[in-house]
């Protein structure tokens, strides 16, 4: 540990001071004025391109070359796959779009021959392709150099758009994205190595998507990015001399948002009521204060001989290697720099009816706290309902929630929290698959803006010219999508699961419509404007990402064929006759034949894609 001794001399306070100079994303809800408006500078782009080109040969292109680890299997004997198969291409597409980020004609063929569940199992069992870590290190975003990647969050956008716009693992990534909206960390609030931090977080979600909830809860709790975001990092035990008490932020949010929620729930997700008909709160402030002590003493872990370097142009700045952010936080001060001695509270810790005796250390306290939260009867319905909302429908029936919660409680082999079983239960449920739900005007959800963009990229073969996937933060409400993955404005996600838009048909029927929290007169118009210039590639944000529309160009002279294809791949065959006629008439007003110019053909494809993607038949996923 000589390195360790040496590292003790490093002064992190200087590092933290310097961090204030970093480009800082606003932490407010409004991102209209993004301090990082500019795309990366020409010089930085040139540098990236060079590095990217140099590494493209070793598997950086988004294929499945990334040396993935085998997926975790879902703890035990799952029942034999149902033989249920889609009767039509549209049904197959519908399932693939609920389960994943996009659908291809290959998916449809496979699903029709093998059935829903076999297809889903195949997807889940795919080797995990390129990780965030691989992307960031391959392209050079973890170098300590004059580009100051250690303060920059734009590589986080490149990383996540690379993940979502291309490549395999569509279902795994879709589920990880849903998890990122439940266990929320936002890169906006991370100052040191923001991209590596959020990349490590994304890798936890993606690798654990079909593992166990209990493992994921602990992994996200100890993730350094989460530590920064919700203040576990540097949280100290109480000091009676000064009156200082532990920080309560993580304590509160891990209960309210990441596990049990505010009110006691029945297994079907409805609220339990007391004798007077009132909901019963799951915890009070004493529980918060009690469990807050569990999350004390944690800080960055320098385990693994993490060293510091100075960028050549700033010799006074000591930057730890990026991999520091992939280490889980530790409460063992031996691995902390500087070593200030253990800061974990050894007081008695009481919460949710559990008492951890005084003198219990960090690791054991964490185990008890995680077990207590994990085993609370609320978790199944609380988590299950929100995952149904993200993937299938905003207003699942209580019976649907119950079926999923029961699988959460027991996967059939006595295992609680088996996420593979839970997500399969959500997707294979009759309420999700049945044609009856299509006849129900209240079924479904508004497709999230970031999912529309991801689907566009995957469906039309988006490529990165630099292979670095230079796509920006798309949070701005007036020009982009009002949503960008891993950039929630707060721990409360982009929208709340209980949101009901005022003065709407949804409100009249008392229906939840979470994604509508992003919709107003501004964002409705900016979505159309954004897609117009995304689809034709002329938006200033489109300098690196290009779609080929290869398959569409081949059939562009046949309006019916073109619309058949777009209808199937974008809306799962749900384009209404009225919408289809409107679009077909507009397309047929132009004469495009096999001999038309490439430009005319492309313009026709662009018209068709845009008109489908702004239709309400597309926007509402059912």
How far apart (Å, rounded) are the C-alpha atoms in residues 600 and 590?
A: 9
Looking at the Cβ atoms of 8 and 281, the one nearer to another protein is: 281
Q: Tell me how far CA of residue 597 lies from CA of 475, 557, 563, in angstroms.
A: 36, 11, 20
Which of 10, 55, 517, 596 contacts another protein by CB under 8 A?
517
Which of 23, 28, 77, 79 contacts another protein by CB under 8 A?
28
Looking at the Cβ atoms of 339 and 582, the one nearer to another protein is: 582
- Exposure string for 290-303, b = 16+ CB within 10 A, e = fewer: bbbbbbbbbbbbbe
Please list every residue from 113 through 132 that binds another protein, using CB under 8 A. Answer: none
How far apart (Å, rounded) are the C-alpha atoms in residues 393 and 621?
A: 8
Looking at the Cβ atoms of 376 and 622, the one nearer to another protein is: 622
Stretch that binds another protein, among 154-162, 248-256, 333-341, 457-465 (CB under 8 A): 248-256
Please list every residue from 552 through 591 that binds another protein, using CB under 8 A. Answer: 576, 578-579, 582-583, 585-587, 589-590
Contacts of 502 (CB under 8 A, 6+ apart): none
Looking at the Cβ atoms of 296 and 411, the one nearer to another protein is: 296
Please list every residue from 201 through 230 that binds another protein, using CB under 8 A. Answer: 230
Looking at the Cβ atoms of 31 and 327, the one nearer to another protein is: 31
Can you tell me which residue has the tokens 């209990």?
214
Which two structure tokens, joined as six digits, stand for 3? 């390195």
Q: x/- binding map, residues 411-440, to another protein, per CB under 8 A?
A: ------------------------------
Please list every residue from 3 through 22 that binds another protein, using CB under 8 A. Answer: 20
How far apart (Å, rounded) are the C-alpha atoms in residues 258 and 291?
A: 14
**Taking CB under 8 A as the rule, does residue 252 contact another protein?**
yes
Q: Is 304 left (phi over 0), alpha (psi -120 to 50) or beta?
A: left
Which of 223, 235, 360, 409 contacts another protein by CB under 8 A?
235
Please list every residue from 439 through 498 that binds another protein, using CB under 8 A. Answer: 441-446, 477-479, 489-492, 496, 498
Which of 506, 547, 556, 562 contacts another protein by CB under 8 A?
506
Stretch that binds another protein, among 5-13, 162-170, 247-255, 420-428 (CB under 8 A): 247-255
Element (H, E) at 354: strand 354-356
Which of 504, 548, 560, 593 contacts another protein by CB under 8 A?
504
Query: Among candidates 422, 402, 401, which has minimal Cα distance to 411?
Result: 422
How far apart (Å, rounded) are the C-alpha atoms in residues 369 and 363?
A: 10
Residues forming a β-bridge with 263 = 281
Looking at the Cβ atoms of 206 and 477, the one nearer to another protein is: 477
**Taking CB under 8 A as the rule, does residue 244 contact another protein?**
yes
Looking at the Cβ atoms of 121 and 536, the one nearer to another protein is: 536
How far apart (Å, rounded) are the C-alpha atoms in residues 581 and 591?
A: 17
**Taking CB under 8 A as the rule, does residue 536 contact another protein?**
yes
By the 10 Å C-beta count (0-12 exposed, 13-18 middle, 19+ buried), 26 is classed as middle
**Taking CB under 8 A as the rule, does residue 525 contact another protein?**
yes
By the 10 Å C-beta count (0-12 exposed, 13-18 middle, 19+ buried), 555 is classed as middle
What is the closest distance, in whole angstroms, from the C-beta atom of residue 497 to another protein in the complex? 9
What is the closest distance, in whole angstroms, from the C-beta atom of residue 25 to another protein in the complex? 10
**Taking CB under 8 A as the rule, does residue 394 contact another protein?**
yes
Which two structure tokens, joined as six digits, stand for 190? 């991370």
Taking only Cα atoms into account, the Rg of the chain, rounded to an integer number of angstroms, comes to: 25
What is the closest distance, in whole angstroms, from the C-beta atom of residue 504 to another protein in the complex? 5
């Amino acid at each position: 540990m000589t390195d360790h001794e040496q590292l003790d001399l490093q002064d992190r306070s200087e590092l933290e001071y310097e961090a204030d100079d970093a480009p800082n994303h606003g932490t407010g809800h409004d991102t209209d004025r993004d301090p990082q408006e500019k795309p990366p500078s020409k010089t930085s782009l040139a540098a990236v391109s060079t590095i990217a080109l140099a590494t493209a040969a070793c598997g950086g292109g988004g294929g499945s070359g990334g040396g993935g680890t085998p997926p975790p299997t879902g703890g035990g004997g799952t029942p034999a796959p149902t033989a249920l198969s889609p009767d039509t291409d549209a049904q197959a597409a519908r399932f693939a779009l609920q389960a994943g980020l996009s659908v291809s004609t290959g998916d449809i063929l496979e699903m029709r021959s093998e059935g829903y569940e076999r297809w889903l199992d195949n997807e889940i069992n795919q080797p995990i392709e390129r990780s965030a870590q691989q992307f960031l290190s391959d392209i050079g975003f973890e170098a300590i150099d004059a580009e100051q990647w250690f303060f920059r969050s734009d590589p986080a956008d490149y990383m996540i758009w690379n993940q979502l716009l291309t490549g395999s693992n569509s279902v795994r990534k879709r589920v990880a994205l849903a998890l990122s909206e439940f266990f929320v960390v936002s890169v906006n609030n991370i100052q040191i190595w923001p991209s590596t931090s959020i990349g490590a977080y994304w890798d936890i979600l993606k690798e654990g998507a079909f593992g166990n909830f209990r493992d994921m809860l602990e992994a996200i709790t100890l993730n350094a990015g989460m530590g920064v975001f919700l203040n576990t990092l540097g949280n100290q035990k109480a000091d009676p001399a000064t009156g200082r008490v532990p920080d309560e932020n993580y304590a509160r949010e891990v209960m309210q948002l990441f596990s049990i929620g505010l009110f006691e729930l029945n297994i079907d997700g409805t609220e339990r009521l007391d004798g007077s008909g009132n909901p019963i709160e799951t915890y009070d402030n004493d529980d918060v204060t009690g469990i807050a002590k569990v999350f004390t003493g944690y800080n960055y872990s320098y385990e693994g001989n993490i060293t510091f370097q100075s960028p050549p142009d700033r010799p006074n700045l000591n930057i730890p290697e990026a991999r520091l952010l992939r280490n889980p936080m530790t409460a063992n001060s031996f691995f902390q720099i500087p070593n200030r001695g253990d800061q974990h509270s050894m007081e008695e810790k009481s919460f949710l009816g559990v008492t951890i005796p005084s003198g219990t250390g960090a690791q054991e306290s964490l185990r008890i706290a995680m077990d207590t939260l994990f085993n609370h009867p609320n978790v199944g319905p609380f988590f299950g309902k929100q995952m149904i909302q993200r993937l299938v429908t905003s207003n699942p029936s209580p019976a649907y929630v119950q079926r999923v919660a029961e699988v959460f409680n027991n996967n059939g082999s006595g295992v609680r929290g088996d996420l593979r079983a839970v997500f399969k239960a959500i997707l294979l449920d009759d309420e999700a698959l049945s044609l009856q739900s299509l006849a129900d005007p209240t079924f479904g959800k508004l497709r999230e803006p970031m999912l529309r963009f991801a689907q566009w990229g995957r469906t039309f073969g988006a490529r990165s010219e630099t292979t670095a996937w230079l796509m920006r933060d798309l949070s701005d409400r007036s020009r982009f999508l009002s949503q960008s993955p891993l950039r929630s404005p707060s721990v409360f996600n982009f929208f709340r699961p209980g949101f009901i838009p005022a003065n709407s048909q949804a409100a009249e029927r008392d229906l939840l419509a979470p994604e509508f929290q992003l919709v107003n007169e501004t964002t409705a118009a900016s979505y159309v404007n954004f897609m117009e210039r995304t689809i034709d590639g002329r938006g200033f944000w489109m300098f690196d990402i290009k779609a080929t529309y290869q398959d569409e160009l081949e059939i562009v002279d046949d309006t019916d064929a073109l619309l058949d294809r777009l209808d199937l791949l974008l809306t799962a065959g749900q384009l209404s006759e009225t919408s289809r006629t409107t679009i077909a008439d507009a397309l047929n007003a132009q004469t495009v034949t096999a001999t038309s110019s490439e430009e005319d053909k492309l313009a026709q494809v662009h018209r068709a894609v845009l008109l489908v993607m702004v239709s309400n038949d597309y926007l509402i996923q059912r």
